[in-house]
Amino acid sequence: MKKPWKCGECGKGYRFPSELEVHRRSHTGERPFTCSQCGKGFSHSSTLQTHQRVHTGERPFTCCVCGKGFSESSNLQTHQRIHTGEKPFTCSQCRMGFTQLSHMLRHQRTHSRKKTFSCTECGKGFSDSNDLQMHQRVHTGESPFTCSVCGKGFTRSSILLTHQRVHTSERPFTCSVCGKGFTQSSHLVAHHRVHTGERPFSCSECGKGFTQLASLLRHQRIHTSERLLK
């Protein structure tokens, strides 16, 4: 489709003069749409409309799994990854997956930063003193996060949160194919392979594939026993 209306600043083309007018604000900094509540200005009327939900409390985008509401569709989309286990942002260094781009970018800094904090027990290095402190609990046995139901202790609050689902029966990670729920996203990812037929863990001895690493390790004992009997 032709785009005859060109921006004099950057040369970008638009189909209609109204689109060009909106674009020009990115160069001029003009913000003609003002919030009547706080006076903040916006370049687009749609952006102002979204902002006003901060004041009204309106949350028109609702999660069909848990019913939680959001003021923006993008926030709902990010939230839904909690239920699906989807992690579309992958670290190029270690292949670790993340639900949000900002989380991945923050993680990637751990690869580039100098690891100035070292564990006196095992020598492992960390770029952040808090990460070192959490790691040292492996050696000290410290478990400062305690379950209020059973009293079991954990080294991290995130692990405690996952554990508490044993008591609440909460299963926030739901399979989009069959609707089965899981307490952890990693369990959902492994379950999905039942539907896709994917078997990423292969035996180096016989080539047999498995959906989970634990299943592969259990299988490999067969070959170990065979070699011992020879």
| Residue-wise pLDDT tens digits, 98-123 | 888 888 888 887 777 777 788 898 98
Please report which confidence band the pLDDT of residue 147 belongs to, taking 50, 70 and 90 as the band edges: very high
Model pTM score: 0.46
Please report which confidence band the pLDDT of residue 221 belongs to, taking 50, 70 and 90 as the band edges: confident
pLDDT confidence of residue 227: 66
| Residue-wise pLDDT tens digits, 16-72 | 998 888 888 888 888 889 999 898 998 888 888 888 888 888 888 888 878 788 888
Instruction: Name the average pLDDT for the chain.
Output: 85
Contacts of 54 (CB under 8 A, 6+ apart): 71
| Residue-wise pLDDT tens digits, 129-141 | 888 888 888 899 8
Supply the DSSP string of 81-104, one letter for each residue: HHHH----EE-TTT--EESSHHHH
Q: Is the pLDDT of residue 145 over 70?
A: yes
With H, G, I as helix, E, B as strand and everything else as coil, classify residue 199. Answer: coil
CA distance 89 to 80: 15
Q: Is 219 exposed, middle or buried (0-12, 13-18, 19+ CB in 10 A)?
A: middle
With H, G, I as helix, E, B as strand and everything else as coil, classify residue 12. Answer: coil
